[in-house]
Structure 1
Amino acid sequence: MSDYKAFRVELADKVAHVTINRPEKVNAMNADFWSEIIEIFRWVDATDEVRVVVLSGAGKHFSSGIDLMLLAQVGSQLGKDVGRNAETLRRKILELQGSFNAVDQCRKPVLAAIQGYCLGGAIDLIAACDMRYSTVDAQFSIKEIDIGMAADVGTLQRLPRIIGDGMMRELAYTGRTIDGEEARRIGLVNRTFGDASALLDGVMEIAWEIAAKSPIAVRGTKEMIRYMRDHRVDDGLEYVATWNAAMLQSADLRVAMAAHMSKQKPEFAD
């Protein structure tokens, strides 16, 4: 692990805890954030010792979204030619999308622990995670509509599969803020906790439970779920049959079955 400007990264008990670490700026997503998150998730993917990721924000808030200074910097690069401006903006948007694609495409499960503000670009980020958990008083909002733009880094593409099309449209069109309890009711978060400390403890417990499972089985399960977003049921059945034709030969299967029969806790290799 390297030293990061926008993040703090710790690894313990097979769980990587990735913390957005700009609390004095409400964890706004600056230029360092967008480049470093790709580096971090490449490291996660390449490090067998990491089995699960917990993503959180330092201080009182998860994240207030994209840093407005970054938007100003992009604006300063624009000139008088509409075509060249469009090309510059398109490249920048695709670059930012790539940062959250790195989270979505990570081979390991990513659990978001959310307290305080989760606004704008932060919704794009948590939509790329496997599961989301929050405090009861967390505040969620698709804020882009209030600054005169459409969300463009994944919210409108990923959120309908999480909370349904109609609810996503309501939140995206109105920009209204919902709290943790409403987020739980609509399925945006799996569970709520009383405060930030209980939240992190609870999410870590879930992460450790997943980390104790066969990493081969977890990897296959995540890949099948991700594959099914864009394919028919029969395509998914064909894919899992081919996948498991190889993966069922893993030693993890024998270890898991022996542990189950002997009522022991299995220990899996990285």
Structure 2
Amino acid sequence: MIEHEKLSGGLFTITINEPSKLNSLTLSDFTRIAKLIQQADADDEIIAVFLQSTGRFFSSGAQFDYFGEFEGMEPEKKEQRLRSEIATMNVYVADVFAQHSKPLVCCLNGPAIGLAASLVLLCDIVYAMNDQVYLLFPFSSLGFAAELGCSVTAPLKLGINRTNEHFVFSTKIQYKDMLQARLIAKDFHLRPGKTAEFNSQVHTLVQESLEGKNRHAMLNIQQLLSQKDALVRAQGRETSVTLPFWLHGEPLKRFKQLQTRQRKHRL
């Protein structure tokens, strides 16, 4: 469930709220998040946008049960759906994040997996709730390639050597790695179970930091620092590389193995 709220002081929150499922996301959820970012961008009263979550995970990634819908589907129909849903979603969501004009703040309360980890890297500022947070890009384990612009954002924010290691071997990018790479702007050192308090503290910090700042200067700085051109180029490249894996069925097979516990989850 994706919720949103317009707060006082020009703040806009987008909340992933499905803690019983570790905030796993459907493809429609990713599209919904992108549409809300566009909505906030179009609202002149909004100054900053927050991508946040609930419970102990930021998001465990894509929902397994969604991919079960493809089982037994006619090959032609399956290919049509994969192209229209997976490829289109990736291009649309990455494009919205590339084009956004207002500071996008991630409240990282816990682990972020797969496409959800890609969303974290697309944010402009990342705050951590504690040292238990991590990112995991299990693309090689699941049988497909990088998506949602992470072939650009990960090397930019973590370094090319560290990205190669974690992407190729599907290993966790731990808190200490994110801290060393300066990906995390601040650690709030709150214990597990304090996600609501963490989100509120981030809102307060950002609102206080925005006081007295020139709005037009902020927006222009945001535009100058954006990696829009690189992200736009990455959309087509990532889609053309990863879509054949989906069409050949390897990710669908491995998602089913995870769902039926034939394959151990990297969590």
Same fold judged by TM-score > 0.5?
yes
Q: Alignment partner of 1:149: what SS? A: coil
Pairing partner for 2:9 from 6, 13, 18 = 13
Measured in 1, the distance between the counterparts of 2:228 and 2:96 equals: 18
Unaligned runs of 5+ in 1: 231-270
- Counterpart mapping for 1:156-235 below 5 A: 156-195=151-190, 196=194, 199-208=198-207, 209-210=209-210, 212-226=212-226, 230=230
Greater RCO, CA 8 A, separation 6+: 2
Measured in 2, the distance between the counterparts of 1:212 and 1:69 equals: 48
Q: Alignment partner of 1:151: what SS? A: coil
Q: Alignment partner of 2:135: what SS? A: strand
Please tell me the root mean square deviation across aligned C-alpha atoms, in Å. 2.5
Where does residue 60 of structure 2 map in the other structure? 64
Whether contact under 8 Å (2:61, 2:112) holds in the other structure is yes
Where does residue 91 of structure 1 map in the other structure? 84
Once the 2 structures are TM-superposed, how far is the Cα of residue 86 of structure 1 from its aligned partner? 4.8
Larger radius of gyration: 1
Once the 2 structures are TM-superposed, how far is the Cα of residue 33 of structure 1 from its aligned partner? 1.0
Would you say how many aligned residue pairs link Structure 1 and Structure 2?
224
Unaligned runs of 5+ in 2: 231-267
Where does residue 27 of structure 1 map in the other structure? 23
Q: Any idea what the Cα deviations from partners look like across 1:174-219, whole Å, max 9, x if unmatched?
A: 1112332332112332222212456435522442113642221111
How many percent identity over aligned positions? 20
Normalising by structure 2, report the TM-score: 0.74
Whether contact under 8 Å (2:56, 2:109) holds in the other structure is yes
Whether contact under 8 Å (1:180, 1:192) holds in the other structure is no
Change (3 A) 1:216 1:151: same
For 1:69, give the aligned amino acid: D
Where does residue 101 of structure 1 map in the other structure? 95
Whether contact under 8 Å (2:126, 2:185) holds in the other structure is yes
- Counterpart mapping for 1:30-69 below 5 A: 30-69=26-65
Q: Any idea what the Cα deviations from partners look like across 1:89-126, whole Å, max 9, x if unmatched?
A: 33323322212432332111001011222111111111
Whether contact under 8 Å (1:14, 1:211) holds in the other structure is no
